[in-house]
Structure 1
Amino acid sequence: MAARESKLKQRKEIIHTTFESSTDSTAVEEKFFGQAEEDEDDGPVVFICGKCKLPVGDSMSWDGSEDGQNQIRLKRVTDNVVVGKDTRLHDASKRSLCLIVDLFCRGCHSVLGMVFASTPKNLDYKRFTFCFNVADLDSYVLGSASQMLAAEGPKEQPVTLEYRGIVEQQLTEMKMLVISMAQRLEEIGVQNECDVA
């Protein structure tokens, strides 16, 4: 049990560090690690370009995060992400040279991250995943909208005691009118019978 709590605490620290500027860490923890203690109603997270706001991916294709490099990894992305053609050397850590290809936003052509094309054995888990720089992304949690419009139209109004009283008075007046009309029709019917006889 202590090991599980320690692991959960480690995950929380990673999430808080990685997403401190772009996403609510509680939502990220719940969706990505399934360990959230509160708010089980949050929806999936949509990641969007920080500049032009085009969607680039979502949490349904989550592959992991790198706290030290402030990156997230996704297995799949939208067509708004363009994989560059030129490979270059990247020093991921001491004595860990990699070949990478840059990821660009189709809308504004800004660099969003990279794809590791060749890695040393200790970084094989990153190969052929889409690694995004968190600083270049924004995010939106589906279902997090809370603003609603009041009753539509100028004629609609909430039912208050005063409004209810007015409606009941109008119904009573209509009932009295219908009763008096029925009595009048009955009198006319009786009068017609007398005239015929």
Structure 2
Amino acid sequence: MAARGSLNLFKHLQKNVNATFESSSVDSTAVEEKLFGQVEEEEDDGPVVFICGKCKLPVGDSLSWDGSEDGQNQIRLKRVTDNVIVGKENRLLEVGKRSVCLVVDLVCRGCHSALGMVYASTPRNLDHKRFTFCFNVADIDSYVLGSATQMLAAEGPKEQPVTLEYRGIVEQQLTEMKMLVLSMAQRLEEIEIGLQEESDEA
């Protein structure tokens, strides 16, 4: 369930980077339901791996899902991989007219791209965001485990199904080869007899 919902979400994001996680189409409760709810038709989907949008290093997965922020185009994770560097310098972030937060930046270890932030200090109405990893949706991508569909086609005679037509072709080829071997053996015998006669005459 997490897989399909999040994958559709990120496909939408890639098409419209400026309209990611639109509140009109997706809300945090819907995303959480898609990740943790139990919809029978989507039970076969695997978890989602979130990756850096630039260098594609994995930064986290949907098993650590904590929620999303529609208005700010962010998702929140409880845990991340070692590919995410948590900054040491605090900075002020104004999220509203009277709401100022203290944040530290999240940076990709591979390409040093900014991925999001951790809220170290928030107003009471934003306490749910404190000490979680908040990723900017525009800076990350996702991959659904188990979504691979490409397979190599079976090749070679060993993989070819044995049909009556195929069996007939093989038997015909074997018969032709047998006749060729017999013909060669007969010709070789004739050559040997000729050589022996020449040696007897000499």
What's the TM-score once normalised by structure 2's chain length? 0.66
SS state of the match for residue 41, structure 2?
coil
Structure 2 unaligned runs (5+)? Answer: 16-25, 176-202
Matched with 2:22 is none
Gap change, CA 1:29 and 1:63, over 3 Å in 2: closer
Q: Following superposition of structure 1 onto structure 2, how do residues 22-171 of structure 1 map, counting pairs within 5 Å?
A: 22=14, 31-36=34-39, 38-153=41-156, 156-165=159-168
Between the two proteins, the alignment pairs up a number of residues equal to 154
Distance in 2, matches of 1:60 and 1:103, equals 19
Distance in 2, matches of 1:35 and 1:22, equals 27
Gap change, CA 1:86 and 1:95, over 3 Å in 2: same
Distance in 2, matches of 1:120 and 1:165, equals 81
* Contact in 2 for aligned 1:18/1:134 (Cα 8 Å): no
Matched with 1:21 is 13
Q: Which amino acid aligns with 1:120?
A: P
Q: Which structure features the higher share of strand residues?
A: 1
SS state of the match for residue 99, structure 1?
strand
* Contact in 1 for aligned 2:7/2:142 (Cα 8 Å): no
* Contact in 1 for aligned 2:49/2:62 (Cα 8 Å): yes
* Contact in 1 for aligned 2:7/2:143 (Cα 8 Å): no
Deviations 1:21-51 (A, max 9, x none): 159x9xx666514154633211000000000
Identity over aligned pairs, percent: 79
Deviations 1:60-112 (A, max 9, x none): 00000011111000000000000011100011223111000000000000100
Gap change, CA 1:101 and 1:154, over 3 Å in 2: farther
Distance in 2, matches of 1:161 and 1:101, equals 71
* Contact in 2 for aligned 1:22/1:139 (Cα 8 Å): no
SS state of the match for residue 92, structure 2?
strand
Distance in 1, matches of 2:48 and 2:14, equals 11
Q: Which amino acid aligns with 1:146?
A: T
Structure 1 unaligned runs (5+)? Answer: 1-13, 174-197
Q: RMSD over aligned Cα, in angstroms?
A: 3.0
* Residue 166 of structure 1: how far off its partner (Å): 5.3
Q: Which amino acid aligns with 1:124?
A: D
Distance in 2, matches of 1:78 and 1:16, equals 20
Deviations 1:86-144 (A, max 9, x none): 10001122311100000000000010000000011111110000000000001000000
